[in-house]
Amino acid sequence: MAGKVENWQEKPLKSKDKNSKREAQRILIPVRPQLLSLKDAAIYLGLTDWALRERVWQGHIPFVRFPGGRKQYFHIKDLDSFIEENKARYV
């Protein structure tokens, strides 16, 4: 089978387990994370890490910190709303 690429969607699931179809869907359907690290959020916004930190310190972008943790995480909806709030047009 050298050189032949198989499409995973065309192969039927051959397991007799009731949950196997659900497990297969969980594996094959990618899930978009809701929380991004500071570095990933900066990339998402097109900013440097420090530019994002400055906006956080100014109170423009909220963040999530887990109890006892030091890392800051950013909810993707908060990043999207920050983008929407800062759109500008030339008239």
Q: In sequence order, what are the residues at sequence separation of 6 or more whose Cβ sits closer than 8 angstroms to the Cβ of residue 75?
A: 34, 35, 62, 64
Q: Is the pTM of this model over 0.85?
A: no
In the chain, the domains with their CATH numbers are 35-85 (1.10.1660.10)
Q: In sequence order, what are the residues at sequence separation of 6 or more whose Cβ sits closer than 8 angstroms to the Cβ of residue 33?
A: 76
3-state helix, strand, coil in the chain (%, to 5): 40, 10, 55
Q: pLDDT tens digits, residue range 7-53?
A: 445 455 555 556 666 666 666 667 778 999 999 999 999 999 999 99
Q: Where are the alpha helices (DSSP H) in the chain?
A: 20-28, 38-45, 49-57, 76-85
